[in-house]
Amino acid sequence: MRLFRPLFLVAALTALTACSLGDPFVDREKTFQITNPGWGKPKLAGYDGVVNVCYGDDTTPATRDALAAEACAEWGLSARLIVRRLWQCRLTVPHLAIYSCIDPAMRNENGYYINPFNAAQVDQWQRAHSTAAPAPAPAPVPPPEP
């Protein structure tokens, strides 16, 4: 029995040090992937306009931002940080950063970004920014014959 105590202690210390070695990642469990016949491809991170990134204390903001930018780039959009929440992810990477996938050109009258995955918001934005087609130029009149 005495032999198992040191082995148990070594195993416990190894497990605890392994828990502190987490790499940041896009949390695909929160943005679950489901294949739906209505979609052309499986739902990816950002399919609803939101990307969740789990990260640790040693993760630089640039690394965290790059992960979100990569996930939003799959949709042809840019990532914008909404909020950071401490102790909301895994034990190895405990913090959560929530990003919005946006099109920088799509803003409403108040300056807020439009969610490109919300059909009603996009439709309203398109109606507000559509310009009437210019009237066609009159046909040239041939010069009078002498």
C-alpha closest to that of 23 among 81, 70, 77, 93: 93
Q: What is the pLDDT of residues 106-125, one digit of tens each?
A: 998 888 999 998 889 999 99
Q: What is the pLDDT of residues 44-82, one digit of tens each?
A: 677 788 999 999 999 999 999 999 999 999 889 999 999
pLDDT for position 129:
84
Instruction: State the Rg of the chain over Cα.
Output: 26
| Per-residue pLDDT at 18 exceeds 60 | no
pLDDT for position 104:
92
The dihedral over CA atoms of 104, 98, 31, 116, expressed in degrees to the nearest 10, equals: -20
pTM, 2 dp: 0.68
